[in-house]
């Protein structure tokens, strides 16, 4: 098996998980930096929109490494889609497909339910609800929790920070509640 074929295939959790987990000590050892993605949006806003808001009045240049990190993620994602796309169909558990069909979701694009997340839905009520309102709630929750899921769940828990354990438990509880309690009712609206 050549390197390109190895990169193309999905990696098992026991390989990908430790590699993601090793970013935490690598960042700490290399530059005493904390892993997290949500702070990059704050750095970007502070750099591009100096509106005099107190939240954006800080030396954002100290976080420029974070912007480079996120830029690398975006470029890596683009290159992966363009050149390393897995030619095999993604496998979704039959029970998940059946549960989503019961909610009215019948078509998928890779792992994404295209009935919900498609370009066609961007400018209608469903798109507004899932993209705009959902995005606002994610951003609000990230700010309220003092970080995103990657920052708390990967960095915070590995540093044994109690607030990160609480935040991660709340993220999980919110995800379960949304999936099992609210999503069936939301899907009936559309």
Please write the tens of the pLDDT for every residue from 127-174.
788 888 888 888 888 888 888 888 888 888 888 889 999 999 998 999
The reported pLDDT for the residue numbered 1 is: 60
Cα–Cα distances (Å) from 151 to 76, 89, 113, 170, in that order, read 20, 31, 26, 14
Q: Quick: pLDDT tens for 13-40.
A: 899 888 888 888 888 888 888 777 888 8
Half-sphere exposure of 134 (CA within 13 A, CB side): 16
pTM over 0.85? The answer is: no
d(CA 156, CA 164): 5
Please determine, for residue 110, whether its predicted confidence score (pLDDT) is greater than 80: no
Domain ranges, ordered by start, for the chain: 116-189
Element (DSSP H or E) covering residue 109: strand 108-109
Residue range 58-81, pLDDT digits in tens: 888 888 888 888 899 899 989 888
Over 90: is that where the pLDDT of 114 sits?
no
Tell me the HSE value of 77 on the side-chain side, using a 13 A CA sphere: 6
Distance from the Cα of residue 63 to its chain's centroid: 20
At which residue do the structure tokens 């502070």 appear?
A: 46
Record the tokens describing residue 53, joined without a space: 């808001």
């Amino acid at each position: 098996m050549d390197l390109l074929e190895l990169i193309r295939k999905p990696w098992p959790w026991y390989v990908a998980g430790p590699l993601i987990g090793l970013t935490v000590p690598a960042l700490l050892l290399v530059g005493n930096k904390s892993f997290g993605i949500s702070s990059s949006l704050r750095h970007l806003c502070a750099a591009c929109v100096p509106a005099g808001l107190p939240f954006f009045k800080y030396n954002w240049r100290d976080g420029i490494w974070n912007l480079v990190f996120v830029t690398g993620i975006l470029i890596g994602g683009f290159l992966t889609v363009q050149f390393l796309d897995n030619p095999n169909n993604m496998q979704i558990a039959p029970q998940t497909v059946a549960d989503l069909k019961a909610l009215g979701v019948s078509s998928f694009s890779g792992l994404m339910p295209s009935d919900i997340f498609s370009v066609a839905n961007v400018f209608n009520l469903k798109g507004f609800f899932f993209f705009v309102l959902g995005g606002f709630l994610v951003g609000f929750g990230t700010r309220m929790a003092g970080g995103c899921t990657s920052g708390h769940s990967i960095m915070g828990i590995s540093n044994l920070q109690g607030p990160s354990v609480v935040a991660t438990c709340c993220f999980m509880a919110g995800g379960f509640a949304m999936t099992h309690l609210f999503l069936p009712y939301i899907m009936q609206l559309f």
